């Protein structure tokens, strides 16, 4: 046995305690965060442990039961982050399309010309400069 165990810490989280020093990299790759100032709810003693969200409890239990095999950070992040990125890109593209259609319909409704250009160049004459205005001397509040 590895000498590590799971203990409920709060309704939303749990901790992994015991001799976890050898498994530091694996626990970090599994999404844990080391916290050295946790408080035992029953005794009030301070202790250090790996803190996890409650939804990872099944995954961590399996990892402990299988003998705490080494987990690489890259393989774990590919599994958890591969599909959401593709989904979020498609969601963002759909939102951009919807917003573009809304702008076009608003412009048509208010009879405003709308160009579908992504980039608009500003001329130097369009930009006001503060260099033309002389600096204003602040009013002295205290007498001499």
- Sketch the domain layout of the chain as residue ranges: 4-71, 83-120
Give yes or no for residue 79 having a pLDDT over 70: no
Per-residue pLDDT tens for 86-121?
Answer: 678 888 888 989 998 898 888 888 888 766 655 455
Per-residue H/E/C for the chain: CCCEEEEEEECCEEEEEECCHHHHHHHHHCCCEEEEEEECCCCCCEEEEEEEEHHHHHHHHHHHHCCCCCCCHHHHHHHHHHHHHHHHHHHHHHHHHHHHHHHHHHHHHCCCCCCCCCCCCCCHHHCCCHHHCCCCCCCCCCCC
Confidence (pTM): 0.49
Give yes or no for residue 132 having a pLDDT over 60: yes
Per-residue model confidence (pLDDT) at position 116: 61
Give yes or no for residue 125 having a pLDDT over 60: no
Per-residue pLDDT tens for 22-71?
Answer: 888 889 999 999 999 999 888 889 999 999 999 999 999 998 888 888 88
Residue range 112-137: mean pLDDT, rounded: 64
Per-residue model confidence (pLDDT) at position 1: 54
Per-residue model confidence (pLDDT) at position 103: 87
Q: What is the pLDDT confidence band of residue 124, given thresholds at 50, 70 and 90?
A: low
């Amino acid at each position: 046995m590895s000498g590590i165990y799971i203990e409920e810490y709060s309704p939303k989280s749990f901790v992994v305690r015991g001799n976890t020093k050898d498994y530091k990299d694996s626990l970090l790759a599994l999404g844990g965060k080391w916290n050295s100032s946790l408080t035992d709810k029953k005794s009030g003693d301070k202790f250090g442990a790996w803190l996890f969200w409650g939804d990872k409890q099944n995954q961590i239990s399996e990892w402990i039961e299988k003998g705490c095999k080494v987990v690489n950070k890259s393989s774990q992040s590919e599994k958890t982050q591969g599909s959401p990125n593709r989904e979020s890109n498609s969601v963002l593209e759909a939102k951009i399309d919807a917003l573009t259609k809304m702008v076009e319909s608003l412009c048509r409704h208010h009879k405003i010309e709308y160009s579908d250009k992504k980039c608009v160049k500003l001329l130097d004459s369009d930009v006001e400069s503060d260099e033309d205005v002389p600096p204003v001397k602040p009013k002295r509040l205290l007498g001499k």
